[in-house]
Amino acid sequence: MNRTELSKLIRYGWIFLLAGLVINYIYRMVFHNLPIEKIILGSDMEGYYQYLVHFFIKDWELFDRMPWTIGYGEGKTLSVFTCGVAILWSPFFLTAHLISLFFGLDTDGYANMYYGFILIAGIVYTYIGLVFMYKFLREFFEHKTSLLTTALFFLATNVFFYSILLGAGMAHVYSFSMIAIYLYFTHQFFKDSSVKNLVLLGIPFALAVLIRPTNIISGLYLFLYGVSNFSNFKERFAFWIKNYWAIITLFFIGVIVFIPQMAYWHFVTGKYLVYSYQNYGFPFLMTPKFGIVLFGKYNGWLTFTPIVIFALVGLFIQLYRKQMNSLAVLVIFILCIYINASWWFPTFGAAVGQRAMIDYLPFLALPLALVVSQIKEMSPPLKIALSLVILIFIFYNIQFGFRYDSLAWWDTPMSWTKLWNTLKF
């Protein structure tokens, strides 16, 4: 990347950030009258955030008694959440802390300055993820198709809600960003199998796993890269045997990235590896709730993110053509849907759409781009019709995000009237 391109990306990044802050203000103060603290306080968000407060501000001896945790033995608590999000937040948290110190503001970590910088972090990491998604797409498609596809992942999926409305404190857009970077550098690694590219794909992959451990299945994209049949599989297996040093390097990258988490686990439990969710797990392994995950009336993936239907059509076209690593993508999505459907809470709580699928959306970039490129080549009537459908999906996604109220949505029975009241102007 030359200096001109970098300058352009930074300029567009500032525009994206400012637009995101304005949209967030309109959402919170015009539509819902919500204080900015709602981005952090409560639920998973505070579970990630408290790592920063206890590490940078409070006594480290209190790490085994953090509040947003579950009991572990006598007088101790253990966070079910890993610290990947906190690591990505740390530069923004420290910036807020230094500004607060300089201007004599509250410096206990629980003040609007800190919350504002976490919102900024969500917007910034989303932008980074979108940039790398675009760069990845440009390896296969021309500029306009790549840009349109990237825009659709932001405007027509719940990435929009979880980045600039009220979800910046959740883990998903950070996984989204890390996996987008990982995809780009995986492609670069198979063009040039250098240590540099291996490290550049290994760090974001390890961070994605640290953010949400189930993201480990994303590693199949690297190990199945270019595989479309059994013959390809044998060739890829031979490649990894020959390049065993790459697997060892990735292992050590993972260990280094996980050191903070293992240190915390050891401090609380005396063990370096812990299943922190304890009694929460996967009770539906033999009876997965696929219907809830895919078509659920409250947050089904296809129900509330219908643009992915186009992406899945593109994926099956690529599978038929045996191109663009479609087999690896299919395996990853089968596994992630199965894992989510087996989780003890397959609706994932007060989610805006199937939020657990956001992490894996970058894998659908190439399939959706294929459909976008084919729509551009269609006859004018069909192109207009499908473009109109896509615009409706964008409106549906943005309007639902703005109108969503977790209490009204989850605490009353579902009905067509309730859905209409959420979507109408």
pLDDT tens string 117-164? 999 999 999 999 999 999 999 999 999 999 999 999 999 999 999 999
Are 278 and 78 a contacting pair, CB within 8 Å? yes
What is the pLDDT of the chain when averaged over all its residues? Answer: 94
Per-residue pLDDT at 425 = 67
- Token digits of residue 148: 């349109």
Question: What is the pLDDT at residue 199?
Answer: 98
- Where does residue 418 rank: exposed (0-12), middle (13-18), buried (19+ CB within 10 A)? middle
- Using one digit for the tens of pLDDT, what is the confidence trace for 170-191? 999 999 999 999 999 999 999 9
pLDDT > 70 fraction of the chain, expressed in percent and rounded: 100
Of 23, 282, 67, residue with least CA distance to 163: 23
Mean pLDDT across 75-91: 95
Based on the number of CB atoms within 10 Å of its own CB, is 206 exposed (0-12), middle (13-18) or buried (19 or more)?
buried
Each residue of 270-311: pLDDT tens digit?
999 999 988 888 999 999 999 999 999 888 999 999 999 999
Is pLDDT at 6 greater than 80 in this prediction? yes
Predicted confidence (pLDDT) at residue 1 exceeds the cutoff of 80: no
Backbone angles phi, psi at 77, to 5 degrees: -130, 155
* Residue in 140, 328, 309 with CA at minimum distance from that of residue 233: 328
Q: In the structure encoding, which two tokens stand for residue 340, read together?
A: 């989510």
What 8-state DSSP symbol labels residue 71? Answer: E
More confident position, 381 or 279: 381
Residue 96 half-sphere exposure toward CB, CA atoms < 13 A: 25
Query: CB count, 10 Å around CB of 104?
Result: 7
112-130 pLDDT tens trace:
999 999 999 999 999 999 9
Residue 78 pairs with which residues in a beta bridge?
70
Find the mean pLDDT for residues 25-32.
94
Q: Which range among 62-71, 116-125, 185-194, 372-381 shows the weakest confidence by mean pLDDT?
A: 62-71
Q: How far is CA 363 from the centre of its chain?
A: 11
Residue 324 carries which side chain, given as an amino acid letter? M
Instruction: Give yes or no for a contact between 64 and 194, defined as CB atoms under 8 angstroms apart.
Output: no
pLDDT at 4: 82
Average pLDDT over residues 165-172: 94
Phi/psi at 141 (5° precision):
-130, 160
CB 184 within 8 A of CB 137: no
DSSP designation for 36: G
Separation of alpha carbons 84 and 235, rounded Å: 34
Q: Name the least confident of 10-24, 209-223, 266-280, 313-327.
A: 266-280
Residue 319's pLDDT is: 97
Residue 180, token pair as written in the block: 């987008």
Side chain identity, residue 193: S
Residue 2 has pLDDT above 80, yes or no: no
Please report the pLDDT score of residue 420 as a whole number.
81
Task: Please say if the pLDDT value at position 71 is more than 80.
Answer: yes
Q: What is the 3-state secondary structure (H, E, C) of 257-274?
A: HHHHHHHHHHHHHCCCCC
Query: Is it the case that residue 87 has pLDDT exceeding 90?
Result: yes
Mean pLDDT, range 60-73, rounded to an integer: 90
406 or 2, greater pLDDT = 406
- Distance, in Å, from the CA atom of 407 to the CA atom of 248, rounded to the nearest integer, reads 48
Its pTM stands at: 0.96
With a cut of 80, say whether residue 357 has pLDDT above it: yes
* DSSP-derived secondary structure for 129-146: HHHHHHHHHTTTS-HHHH
Backbone angles phi, psi at 271, to 5 degrees: -120, 150
Report the C-alpha gap between 161 and 404 in whole angstroms.
10
Q: Specify the higher pLDDT residue, 419 or 308.
A: 308
Q: Which of 200, 220, 203, 199 is nearest to 211 (CA)?
A: 203
Q: Which H or E element spans position 220?
A: helix 219-223
